[in-house]
Amino acid sequence: MKKPIIICVDDDETILDSLEIELQNFLEAEYVIETASSGSEALELLAELLEDNYEIPLVISDHIMPGMKGDELLKRIHQLSPQTLKIMLTGQADLSAIGNAIKYAKLYRYIAKPWQAEDLILTVQEAVNSYRQEKRLAEQNIELQRMNEVLEKLNFEQAQLIAQLHENESRLRQFLDAMPIGVGVLDARGQPYYINQKAQEIFGKGVIPDITAEKLSEVYQVYKVGTNQKYPSLELPIVRALKGEIVTADDLEIRQGNKVIPLEVSSRPIYDGKGKIAYAINTMQDITERKEAELERQKFIEDLFELNCNLELALEAESELTTAARRFVPKEFLSLLGHKSLIDVQLGDQVQQEMSVLFSDIRDFTTLSEQMTPRENFKFINEYLSRMEPVILENQGFIDKYIGDAIMALFAGKADDAVKAGISMVQELRDYNQHRIKSREHPVLIGIGINTGSLMLGTVGGKTRMDGTVISDDVNLASRMEGLTKLYRVSLLISHQTVARLQNPTDYSIRFIEKTKVKGKSKAVAVFEVFDGEDQTIKEKKLATKAVFEEGLFLYYQQVFGEAKRRFETVLQENHADTVAQIYLERCHRQL
């Protein structure tokens, strides 16, 4: 916080030093003493201090100074800072100068030179106190003026509010009287305070003063619906609202002679500014038409009940037929053809679309089935297929057909869906085999082949029997991929077309097997193994030897069979169960 400043002006440096010392000792650290040796210097100092927002309570100036006399200086200081008090020091009794200073500069006091220290200190003390009192008085006057202005504004606003309140109250009554529902208000004592026009029509009367809450049902003829019992007054919704409840009820009726008016009532409390209940308001609606409509609706419902029962039976039968039909024709098949119902399907409907095809087959199923009875065969196949079907559905595929123990599934979305389904099928098979081993049954091996390409999906057959199918070389290639799993003795093979359509092939554990010609294809097909579904130990070994395995493949296709042979031997030392490496090692032996 900036300290107030007292300015001392004299052309005699000795006098300035004396003034500064005497005032500083008296004023201690409460004020800052600044000095100037001429009138012009004093004015410059004053201007700088005022610009920096310093408070200047007092200026003490000599009269006889070169350039500018004291009375002229104090006059100009008064023009710049009227609230600053001025004391003149004079060695000569120049009454004219003192008069000018009093008249034009509002001189507070003059002191003759040489001065008495006590007289100087007393005069300065009185001047500072006077400045403070005038400052406080000015601040109080400003605050009083501000408060008067605020009070005038509040009085004006209050008058406006009162006028507005009267206008709003009048308008509110007009609004309430115009409302199509009845409105009634009780005051805090439980006496009627206001009833609008609609409520007067319902009750047949308006506000009846000086009645208590206990008399409301009797006076306004309020009954329990369908009885001759007056509604208990203390249970009336509006009376309960006076106790702080928010109540809705439709078990009241008003009787006017032979006329009965059923009501729906909603009541709530109204609080004053202190949070106390001042009123309770009641809205009521004549629900005669609603009651009549409810009776008609009830009769209508009863009339429809029997018809609905029969309709529900028919719908249940249709639903069962639809559910049964979906077991034979997947809803995804219908959707791809652009149909919502099986009824819409026509012979020859077709659509061309890029899809992924998955074929799976149980290895050596004939040998397995020969060891089982027909009943056991069906039980085994259904047990196996019931485990594989959910895996395919969970990966956005659907089963096109079962071919004995084989599965043909289609995936209309990403190629990743088909690959993930194949991986999950291998993992599910491991769990199933654990179950079979515990049951002392032989584990099962499967082969899965996946290809992605453009397919023709549609219906084939005749007038009395047709089936949905897909036709394309790419379908046949998927079947060939599955067949190659038997040659390489691996679980899951995919074509290069499927690899090319994976969103991020590095997310999978994939290795190139070979480029081979398959039956029905003139061009060689790149074949890849996906081994994410394998046992963790086998998977880790294949990943660990993948680089060496691929070096062996490269050398083999470069016909450097001796080096290729050594690479495959290295792979088999690490993973002796790697059937693909075994096949390539045998091929190298035959070439050497």
Instruction: Supply the pLDDT for residue 233.
Output: 86
Q: Looking at the chain, how many residues does it have?
A: 592
Reduced to 3 states (helix: H, G, I; strand: E, B; else coil), residue 275 is coil
Report strand pairing: 350-362 vs 446-461: antiparallel
Single-letter code of the amino acid located at 327:
R
Reduced to 3 states (helix: H, G, I; strand: E, B; else coil), residue 585 is helix
Q: How many Å separate Cα 158 from the centre of its chain?
A: 45
Query: What DSSP string describes 143-167?
Result: HHHHHHHHHHHHHHHHHHHHHHHHH
Q: Which position has the higher pLDDT, 229 or 471? A: 229
Tell me how far CA of residue 335 lies from CA of 61, 188, 326, 351, 578, in angstroms. 106, 68, 12, 11, 43
Instruction: Supply the pLDDT for residue 314.
Output: 45
C-alpha to C-alpha distance for 318 and 61, rounded to whole angstroms:
116
Instruction: Supply the pLDDT for residue 317.
Output: 45
CB 490 within 8 A of CB 395: no
Q: Is the pLDDT of residue 162 over 80?
A: no
* Count of other CB atoms within 10 angstroms of residue 276: 9
Show the tokens assigned to 312: 């529900």
Among residues 197, 201, 176, 192, the alpha carbon closest in space to that of 254 is found at: 201
Backbone angles phi, psi at 255, to 5 degrees: -120, 125
**Can you give the three-state secondary structure of 192-247, one letter per residue?**
EEEECHHHHHHHCCCCCCCCCHHHHHHHHCEEECCCCCECCHHHCHHHHHCCCCCE
Q: Is the pLDDT of residue 68 over 70?
A: yes
* 408-461 residue pLDDT tens: 999 988 999 999 999 999 999 999 999 989 988 888 899 999 999 888 775 655
Angle at 425 between CA 402 and CA 379, to 5 degrees: 50
* 304-320 residue pLDDT tens: 877 776 666 545 544 44
Highest mean pLDDT among 67-71, 374-378, 567-571: 567-571
Reduced to 3 states (helix: H, G, I; strand: E, B; else coil), residue 250 is strand
Q: Is the pLDDT of residue 345 over 60?
A: no
* E-assigned strand segments in 233-329: 247-256, 259-271, 277-286
Show the tokens assigned to 573: 């030392």
* 519-542 residue pLDDT tens: 666 678 899 999 999 999 999 999
C-alpha to C-alpha distance for 30 and 26, rounded to whole angstroms:
10
* 221-273 residue pLDDT tens: 899 988 989 999 888 998 898 898 999 988 888 998 888 889 899 999 999 88
Per-residue confidence band for 585, with pLDDT thresholds at 50, 70 and 90: very high
CB 51 within 8 A of CB 5: no
Partners of 455 in beta bridges? 353
Show the tokens assigned to 384: 């196996």
pTM above 0.75, yes or no: no
Q: Which position has the higher pLDDT, 164 or 229? A: 229
Q: Is the pLDDT of residue 159 over 50?
A: yes
Per the prediction, the chain carries an average pLDDT of 84
Q: Is the pLDDT of residue 203 over 80?
A: yes
Radius of gyration, CA atoms only, the chain: 54
CB 98 within 8 A of CB 107: yes
Q: Is the pLDDT of residue 321 over 50?
A: no
Among residues 579, 421, 557, 398, the alpha carbon closest in space to that of 498 is found at: 421
CB 454 within 8 A of CB 472: yes
Partners of 251 in beta bridges? none
C-alpha to C-alpha distance for 109 and 156, rounded to whole angstroms:
47
Contacts of residue 61, Cβ cutoff 8 Å, sequence gap at least 6: 8, 9, 10, 39, 42, 70, 73, 74, 86, 87, 88, 89
Instruction: Supply the pLDDT for residue 18.
Output: 85
Percentage above 70 pLDDT, the chain: 88
Which residue blocks in 28-109 are alpha helix, DSSP H? 39-51, 70-80, 95-105
Instruction: Supply the pLDDT for residue 344.
Output: 44
Among residues 77, 72, 79, the alpha carbon closest in space to that of 94 is found at: 72
Backbone angles phi, psi at 173, to 5 degrees: -65, -35
Instruction: Supply the pLDDT for residue 520.
Output: 61
Q: Is the pLDDT of residue 501 over 80?
A: yes
Per-residue confidence band for 132, with pLDDT thresholds at 50, 70 and 90: confident
Instruction: Supply the pLDDT for residue 566.
Output: 95
Query: What DSSP string describes 7-35?
Result: EEE-S-HHHHHHHHHHHHHHHTTSSEEEE
Show the tokens assigned to 44: 């410059």
Per-residue confidence band for 340, with pLDDT thresholds at 50, 70 and 90: very low
* 346-391 residue pLDDT tens: 444 566 889 999 999 998 887 777 788 888 888 888 889 999 999 9
Contacts of residue 361, Cβ cutoff 8 Å, sequence gap at least 6: 405, 406, 407, 446, 447, 482
Per-residue confidence band for 19, with pLDDT thresholds at 50, 70 and 90: confident
Among residues 177, 182, 173, 176, the alpha carbon closest in space to that of 252 is found at: 182
Instruction: Supply the pLDDT for residue 328.
Output: 45
- Indicate the burial class of 407 (C-beta count within 10 angstroms; 0-12, 13-18, 19 or more): buried
* 37-64 residue pLDDT tens: 998 998 999 999 889 999 988 898 888 8
Among residues 444, 378, 453, the alpha carbon closest in space to that of 411 is found at: 453
Q: Is the pLDDT of residue 548 over 70?
A: yes
Per-residue confidence band for 284, with pLDDT thresholds at 50, 70 and 90: confident
Reduced to 3 states (helix: H, G, I; strand: E, B; else coil), residue 272 is coil
